[in-house]
Amino acid sequence: MKQILFFTLLVLLGHIFFTTTLAQSPAAAPKAPEKPAPATPAPATAPAKPLVPSLPQSPSSDSSSGQDIIKILRKAKSFNTLIRLLKTTQIINQINSQLVTTKNGGLTILAPDDGAFLQLKAGYFNSLGERQQKELIQFHVLPVYVSSSNFDSLSNPVLTLASDSPSGYHMNVTAYGNNVNISTGPVNATLTGIVYSDKTLAIYHVDKVLIPLDFSKPKALAPAPSTAKAPKADKDSSSEDGDQGESTKATSGANNLISLQGTMFVSLLVAAVTMFG
């Protein structure tokens, strides 16, 4: 009997254990790690649009010229007058020296072509003194590098190599649309194209010779020397001296007349005494 009860209890416990195990839900499978969403690439910044167009004959892609300004201008053609003046004034030496020593500043040359120089009055350049001839060429060089798309970032007035002070030998630059205009006072000019450009040197073609406003200012006339007037007291003194001289002369004449009359009277008296004595 005990064996039957023990066996029955054992079967019952096995049934309960088996039923409980089946009733349990299976363990959830681990989630796969989520893949990060692909990053959206930032839109590429469009390069700044040049304000000055390139010229067909621009040698900017020809590395053989380097920064030899004379060679660049010769290859670009139509700049023979500027080349000659750069040499005769020796400003080319100053420009080359600054290009060698500059690190970040660079230079910008505004180059008038031969036709621009022909617009000047005949003999205009030769009518200038040696110093003004140099200043005229220096006036076409900015002591900073300006790329073709950065003319609108310049602050007026723009200084040049000729500027000896913040108020002298400067120009105003206006950039809008695809135009860059330069005003010096006597001249309004336009940049018509890029002759050459790298990271430190830029040469642009300008359609007119830039004349500084300082050249047209009238020179101050030297004040005329004032005529010194004699003091009034001196005049009175001189007048008094003249009066005294005239008075002295009159007195001397009267005395001489009296002396002569006295001598004649004495002579007549002596003659009368002798005659009647």
Residues 111-133 as b/e (b if ≥16 CB within 10 A, e otherwise) read bbbeebbeeeeeeebeeeeeebb
Which pLDDT score is estimated for 208?
97
Whether the model pTM is above 0.85: no
Flag whether pLDDT at 249 surpasses 80: no
* Range ranked top by mean pLDDT from 61-65, 102-106, 167-171, 265-269: 167-171
Residue range 114-141, pLDDT digits in tens = 999 999 999 999 999 999 999 999 999 9
Q: Any idea which of 84-88, 204-208, 267-271 has the lowest mean pLDDT?
A: 267-271
Which pLDDT score is estimated for 240?
47
Flag whether pLDDT at 142 surpasses 90: yes
Q: Report angle CA 17, 20, 24 to the nearest 5 degrees.
A: 140
Q: Any idea which of 143-157, 176-190, 210-224, 227-241 has the lowest mean pLDDT?
A: 227-241
For the chain, domains (ranges, CATH) are 69-149+192-211 (2.30.180.10)
pLDDT band at residue 20 using 50, 70 and 90 as cut-offs: low
Higher pLDDT, 21 or 186: 186
Flag whether pLDDT at 3 surpasses 90: no
Q: Which amino acid would we find at residue 137?
A: I
SS3 state at 247:
helix
Cα 11 to chain centroid distance, Å, stands at 110
Which pLDDT score is estimated for 169?
86
Across the chain, the runs of DSSP E, i.e. the strands, are: 107-112, 141-142, 158-159, 170-176, 179-183, 188-197, 201-206
| % helix, strand, coil for the chain, step of 5 | 45, 15, 40
Which pLDDT score is estimated for 189?
96
Q: Report angle CA 116, 120, 126 to the nearest 5 degrees.
A: 115
Mean pLDDT of 5-31: 56
Residue range 81-98, pLDDT digits in tens = 999 999 999 999 999 988
A 10 A CB-CB count for 141 gives 20
